[in-house]
A and B are shown apart, each in its own frame.
Chain A
Amino acid sequence: MYNPTKSDAAFLRRRAQEFRTQVARRIDGSLTEEEFKPLRLMNGLYLQLHAYMLRVAIPYGTLNADQLRQLAMIAERWDKGYGHMTTRQNIQFNWPRLSDVPDMLDALAEVGMHAVQTSGNTIRNVTADPYAGAAADEVADPRPLAELVRQWSTDHPAFQFLPRKFKFAVTGSPADRAILKAHDVGLQLVRRGGDLGVRVLVGGGLGRTPLLAEELRSFVALDDLLPYLEAVLETYNLSGRRDNKYKARLKITLREEGMEALSTRIEARFAELRGLYPGAAREYARIAQDFARPALNAAPTLAHFTALNDPAYAAWAKTNLVPHSDPDHAIARISLKGPGATPGDITAAQMRRVADLAEAHSGAEIRVGQDQNLILPHVPLGDLPALHAGLAELGLATANAGLASDITACPGMDYCTLATARSIPVAQALADRLRPIERELGALSIKISGCINACGHHHLGHIGILGLDRAGVETYQITLGGDASAQTALGERSGPGFAYDQIVPAIERILRAYLTLRQDASEPFIDTLRRLGPAPFKTALYTETRHAA
């Protein structure tokens, strides 16, 4: 885990203090809302439908037990006793009072956390593979790189007023689990000869114009990376469109200028900037030491194999465990999608107990996934039954990771001012309907957004659902064939949308069709869809509607 330096800590205290005076000046009338809004957004503070919302960064999705306990304290003291995990490795508090936010930022700073640049037209929280440092297929742990990028981008004076928000994701593995292609910049650690370097993708994003990132450079040496990224950002800062916010992202600049022209300009600027940040390699090495893997013990694994006789444990082990690079350990996924749950919500009591469990069984580390679930990255096999029992007491042992009821959903119209329809109750109703058949259905990813901004990643769901407002009525559009894995793909619209009370049966029709269309139980939904194309699914989806009408 990264150990913040004295200057990191001083920066966070200074930022929190600065925001305290800004809040005070807003309350006493010296700042207008127009002046205050960009300042609060720089510090992650939104105004939603019912209250303010504070978005706190969980850089590269890594938390230690003390940080999770502090989040629990914050949720209880200044919010309503829970937090919401997002698809970009942030946690959101939905109910703070304006005057309490400076105290919340102080409390975050105590554990090295913050809300800096979690909003606004800046470089946002740097996300990463949630299995970083534990995955079996990793070239190198991506977190030192992510931390380096975070330090470079945080409070970077030239990049506080970009044309639009700017998102980075980092992975150290070819099996992309950080959705690089859905980001403005995706960084993949690769080896060339013996040297570690970075493959750079640019121009991805979701929202109203979803586009997948393309390769800008197959290899940038680590020493060159920050000047190279500086050149990317400077080029974007100058040429990104400020006249139209829907065309302001790098993904549009790339398509308007073409990769060749963009790359030529970036390379020219890079040639001038090369050598900037001469201390970066040393800093990277220092950071990398902090991320040394916790000592893995070689305790007996027997308890795990004995426990597999218990059907509930076996079911959980089957869906919620991922192979660790050490065969005597596992990566354990904690589902925040149990029956009745709001996807991604976790109570303060659960946070505290998960922190205890992480301390007892996972080197005190917790991860937050892009799927709004938590992960304990380093659990000895022999500890798994105790972990499972501990999670079951919290209602967090749901054995559904990667199955139909493990639905990603943004807050939608229940909280969000930009929403055009609700997503949470659709996720809940759909999960209830599909839970009885989800084992039969196998691997399936359903993702829901409450408006075209796509915070719920609907374009990336095998089945995506987009909530719209059609003449004052909640209406849901379906996309088919999206994929958030390394074979990243954007789903395609199935056709006309469905009313709130019709969307659940509509999805069920698609899945019933899958059960009859698949070659056998070993062919997952996405493979059947790829093999046959969307036509037979659309037939199932729309034929019965006509019958019913």
Chain B
Amino acid sequence: MSRIFTPKVVTANALLEGDVVYLTEDGTWTRRLDEAELIEDEAIAQLRLIEASAQPHRIVGAYLAEARAGRTGPAPGHFREGFRARGPSNRPHGKQAEILDV
């Protein structure tokens, strides 16, 4: 039984900084989830993941993360992805320190 494909983004951690990055439509990496490419087709998602995994000099551990269409771009599809996109909830560190409108 095939499951319905839900939208994804390609995400990973940057090799040098270790922080969360997302693949954009033009194949570059961004640190903002809302700038990522929201992929709604399973075959394309697999292809984009292969492209991403072929960049071990930039990133570590690429995978497809649940996402949904938000107001300004992709938004987290699971609370874990929410923390990855923002940073920890006990300190104002991580992305929330650099990006104001998350």
> Which residues of A are interface residues toward B (Cβ below 8 A)?
26-27, 29, 32-33, 47-52, 80, 95-99, 342, 413-415, 419, 422, 424-425, 428, 469, 472-474
* Given A29-B56, A413-B79, A474-B79: A98 in contact with B90 (beta carbons within 8 A): no
Chain A residues within an 8 Å CB radius of B17 = 51, 97-98
Task: Determine which residue in A29, A50, A415 has the highest number of CB atoms from chain B within 10 A of its CB, and name it.
Answer: A50
Kindly state the separation between the CA atoms of A100 and B31 in the bound complex, as whole angstroms. Answer: 21
What string of 1s and 0s marks CB contacts (under 8 Å) between B3-25 and chain A?
00000000001011111100000
B53-67 contacts to A (CB < 8 Å): 56-57, 60-61
Closest 3 CB pairs between A and B?
A: A414-B88, A52-B18, A51-B18
B91 at the interface (CB under 8 A from A): yes
Chain A residues within an 8 Å CB radius of B89 = 414, 422, 424-425
A-B contact pairs, 24 of them (CB 8 A): A26-B15, A27-B16, A27-B57, A29-B56, A29-B57, A33-B61, A47-B60, A50-B87, A50-B88, A50-B93, A50-B94, A50-B95, A51-B13, A51-B18, A51-B94, A95-B93, A96-B18, A97-B18, A98-B17, A413-B80, A414-B88, A415-B88, A419-B80, A428-B90
Q: A26-B15, A51-B17 are in contact. List 13 more A-B contacts (CB 8 A).
A: A27-B57, A29-B57, A32-B56, A47-B13, A49-B83, A50-B84, A50-B87, A51-B18, A96-B18, A98-B17, A98-B18, A413-B80, A414-B90
* Given A32-B56, A49-B83, A413-B80: A97 in contact with B93 (beta carbons within 8 A): no
Chain A residues within an 8 Å CB radius of B83 = 49, 413-414, 422
User: Closest residue of chain A to B60, judged by CB?
Assistant: A33
Kindly state the separation between the CA atoms of A27 and B60 in the bound complex, as whole angstroms. Answer: 12
Q: Could you tell me if A47 and B79 are in contact, using CB atoms closer than 8 angstroms? A: no
Q: Could you tell me if A425 and B90 are in contact, using CB atoms closer than 8 angstroms? A: yes
Q: Could you tell me if B79 and A472 are in contact, using CB atoms closer than 8 angstroms? A: yes
Kindly state the separation between the CA atoms of A21 and B82 in the bound complex, as whole angstroms. Answer: 35
Q: Could you tell me if B16 and A50 are in contact, using CB atoms closer than 8 angstroms? A: no
User: Closest residue of chain A to B77, judged by CB?
Assistant: A472
Task: Determine which residue in A29, A49, A473 has the highest number of CB atoms from chain B within 10 A of its CB, and name it.
Answer: A49
Kindly state the separation between the CA atoms of A415 and B84 in the bound complex, as whole angstroms. Answer: 9
Q: How far is the CB of B52 from chain A (nearest CB, A)?
A: 13
Kindly state the separation between the CA atoms of A49 and B90 in the bound complex, as whole angstroms. Answer: 14
Kindly state the separation between the CA atoms of A99 and B14 in the bound complex, as whole angstroms. Answer: 12
Task: Determine which residue in A96, A97, A428 has the highest number of CB atoms from chain B within 10 A of its CB, and name it.
Answer: A97
Chain B residues within an 8 Å CB radius of A47 = 13, 18, 60-61
User: Closest residue of chain A to B17, judged by CB?
Assistant: A97
Q: How far is the CB of A195 from chain B (nearest CB, A)?
A: 50
Q: Could you tell me if B78 and A472 are in contact, using CB atoms closer than 8 angstroms? A: yes
Q: Could you tell me if B20 and A342 are in contact, using CB atoms closer than 8 angstroms? A: no
Q: Could you tell me if A50 and B80 are in contact, using CB atoms closer than 8 angstroms? A: no
Q: Could you tell me if A50 and B91 are in contact, using CB atoms closer than 8 angstroms? A: no
User: Closest residue of chain B to A95, judged by CB?
Assistant: B93
Contact of B20 among A50, A414, A472 (CB under 8 A): A50
Chain B residues within an 8 Å CB radius of A472 = 78-79
Q: Could you tell me if B56 and A49 are in contact, using CB atoms closer than 8 angstroms? A: no
Q: Could you tell me if A99 and B57 are in contact, using CB atoms closer than 8 angstroms? A: no
Chain B residues within an 8 Å CB radius of A51 = 13, 17-19, 94
Kindly state the separation between the CA atoms of A48 and B87 in the bound complex, as whole angstroms. Answer: 11
Q: How far is the CB of A32 from chain B (nearest CB, A)?
A: 6
* Given A33-B61, A50-B88, A413-B79: A98 in contact with B16 (beta carbons within 8 A): yes
Q: How far is the CB of A419 from chain B (nearest CB, A)?
A: 8
Kindly state the separation between the CA atoms of A47 and B18 in the bound complex, as whole angstroms. Answer: 7
Chain B residues within an 8 Å CB radius of A422 = 83, 89
Kindly state the separation between the CA atoms of A472 and B78 in the bound complex, as whole angstroms. Answer: 6
Q: How far is the CB of B50 from chain A (nearest CB, A)?
A: 15
Contact of A33 among B16, B56, B84, B93 (CB under 8 A): B56
Q: Could you tell me if A99 and B20 are in contact, using CB atoms closer than 8 angstroms? A: no
